[in-house]
A and B are shown apart, each in its own frame.
Chain A
């Protein structure tokens, strides 16, 4: 047994320990004895590709974190297609709330009883690998040339950790901006803002609190953590390079001043900003309370159900900062759980969704761009002018980070520090320093 691995007995002991403590002292921890993180092997195993991927059958359990109705509807298209093409496989799906994801994942890893296939985001891939629940797909993917020949390179790399493939991309979050074309026209603003400063000025122009209208639907509550790295990258360039922090404190301060300033100085966001999550920013934009919204293409269909593209609403690439755009592209994919009892069936599912047909079906239902290059050239994309900024975003947005601790840094440092500054509890400079310090700590940068 690997020196780092843990026996079931040890796990039960330690997990029970904290569970008992937690039963009395709170839900603190189901601590574990196993540091399952095993560094991926440096060398690729020399298996014969043809013998690697066998046809699967039987039950495949799959975990995802889709919760919105549109996402679920799109996912149904994928699963329906899969059932037709793979009748020998019985796909059982479990949807887990995003905030419970890592809790459930850690428990599954330690208990060695997880699903067969599992959803993986770029921001979490390093954590998920180091915790020890993702099986390397390197051998399998070497035997599946479609991965490299058919998919966008950035998406393939975003599903790697330390050079090993741990998931197959199935779609890409491409950040972009929605704006109310009718509101812009009414104010005489002819085109979407191209820079952050133009964006700020447009937001000021479009804000009229007496009419209950605000320039920008800033997501300052749940889920709003992701904007900090975007803003700081826009001001700094890459904030982490080769695993080390490359963020300059001054640039972090500028980014925080800009973002907090939208709330405290320019007042171009709804007053309830600090509690506004996905539901609130979407509602405020669709109802006309706000004029601009930063999101990704995954909300394309949802927005289109409420507002008419080309008349009421239009899309644009994210504004640029001094160094880069304030938008990213981030792949989402599927991996195989280490110790899966049906890895062949799981592989069939993740390759099915890793290919063009399923991705196109998902795109049409949701707006999420597939990772497969033929998707970008399909009539569903080229025939929809509103998708043009997404294609531009594929070129100009930067690729998401994948360092260990990234998700926690965003969630528990970036968002609370921003909220403290926007709520008047500290200055943007203090917030920036706290975020910068923690990023250096997380990345082990001296």
Chain B
């Protein structure tokens, strides 16, 4: 409420208090946040993008030199980038589909009423709590061609992943990493979907049961449509993570064998820290950033950030 003339006459400080109620004060309050955001996000991002238009190789001993779109022209013709783009796309799409399906199955399992369901909840969520380094080395070892326990167990049921092994086969290594990514990340979907299912009123189930719908029909026509917003948001978030995070790939295969698991962020990392070409590495990073921004925009629109409720 604005102070009145009478108030000001009574309280000489009132005119100062009135400042606290205007838009200007809101901006003043935002200054610390804006400063931090500018310092830690906007400015570095600007420098990173600018570097992507520069030639900057540490070994050359020169300062970054603006080279216009040269890096981008190279990017679009670079077979390493094209290969990495294809692999990143495969990794993201298969990763998402497999995680949604398994996450959904696990969430449906966890909705069952049982005295011991908490055990299943812990077991299902456990992989998500495990550090990626532990996950990577554990699975790398368990799926080893010679000494892997799963290699041995699978051989007993007629599935042979020994011999050349998963990690030594350019045609299978990516799927090995995808399997581990699935194991590690499906609880993320489980958590989202379980929350979504629990938010669906129980009365709906009773109504469809009265109408003669079986469990599948209830899932198909009631549960799934109501879960759409949850599935959408979680899928966008996981897509960003899959495109963005090369941790497992780096730890398990280092992009090999024969560059068969070389995802884009890992390629950018190698260009920077092994080839010391920071300009071109930034170009790759910016290209990935553009792709991720698309998902981020979709996400922001979906959750309605900034919109009045």
Contacts and interface: CB of A to CB of B under 8 A. Distances in A.
B132 interface: no
A37 interface: yes
Given A21-B285, A412-B274, A423-B257, A221 B51 contact: no
A18 B61 contact: no
B124 to A, nearest CB: 29
In this complex, the member of B169, B265, B281 whose beta carbon has the largest number of chain A beta carbons within 10 angstroms is: B281
A192 to B, nearest CB: 26
A289 B173 CA distance: 23
A225 to B, nearest CB: 10
Contact of A29 (B61, B266, B285): B285
Given A33-B64, A275-B145, A26 B257 contact: no
Interface stretch (A339-347, A373-381, A401-409): A401-409
Contacts of B145: 271-272, 275
Q: Which secondary structure dominates chain A's binding surface? A: helix
Contacts of B285: 18, 21-22, 25-26, 28-29
B196 interface: no
Interface string B196-221: 00000000000000000000000000
B43 interface: yes
A79 B244 CA distance: 42
Nearest to A411: B274
Interface in A400-438: 404-405, 407-408, 411-412, 415-416, 419-420, 423, 425
A31 B269 CA distance: 10
A280 B284 CA distance: 34
A356 interface: no
Contacts of B284: 28
Interface in A178-199: none
A35 interface: yes
Given A31-B48, A271-B145, A415-B256, A18 B43 contact: no
Interface in B96-139: none
A29 B43 contact: no
Given A17-B47, A28-B284, A31-B51, A4 B62 contact: yes
Given A24-B244, A130-B59, A273 B168 contact: yes
Nearest to B167: A275
Given A27-B265, A274-B168, A36 B58 contact: yes
Interface string A270-311: 111111100010011000010000000000000000000000
Interface stretch (B21-29, B69-77, B224-232, B286-294): B286-294
B220 to A, nearest CB: 37
B154 interface: no
Nearest to B287: A25
B269 A130 contact: no
B264 A16 contact: no
Query: What class of interface size applies to chain A in its complex with B?
Result: 35 or more
A272 B259 contact: no
A127 interface: yes
A20 interface: yes
Given A16-B43, A31-B282, A271-B168, A99 B59 contact: no
A19 B51 CA distance: 12
Contacts of A25: 244, 265, 268, 285-289, 292
B257 A29 contact: no
Nearest to B145: A272
B48 A419 contact: no
Contacts of B265: 22, 25-28
A101 to B, nearest CB: 9
A318 interface: no
Interface string B235-276: 000000001111000000011111100001110111111111
A102 interface: yes
Given A13-B43, A17-B282, 15 more contacts: A13-B44, A14-B64, A15-B44, A19-B48, A26-B265, A28-B284, A37-B60, A131-B58, A222-B254, A271-B163, A272-B165, A274-B170, A408-B276, A423-B169, A425-B170
Query: 9 closest Cβ contacts across the A-B interface?
Result: A26-B265, A17-B47, A28-B268, A16-B44, A37-B61, A28-B285, A275-B168, A29-B272, A17-B48
28 contacts: A4-B61, A6-B63, A13-B47, A14-B51, A17-B45, A17-B48, A17-B282, A21-B49, A24-B292, A25-B244, A26-B244, A31-B48, A35-B56, A36-B58, A36-B61, A38-B61, A99-B254, A102-B273, A102-B274, A127-B59, A222-B254, A271-B165, A274-B164, A275-B145, A404-B59, A407-B274, A415-B256, A416-B255
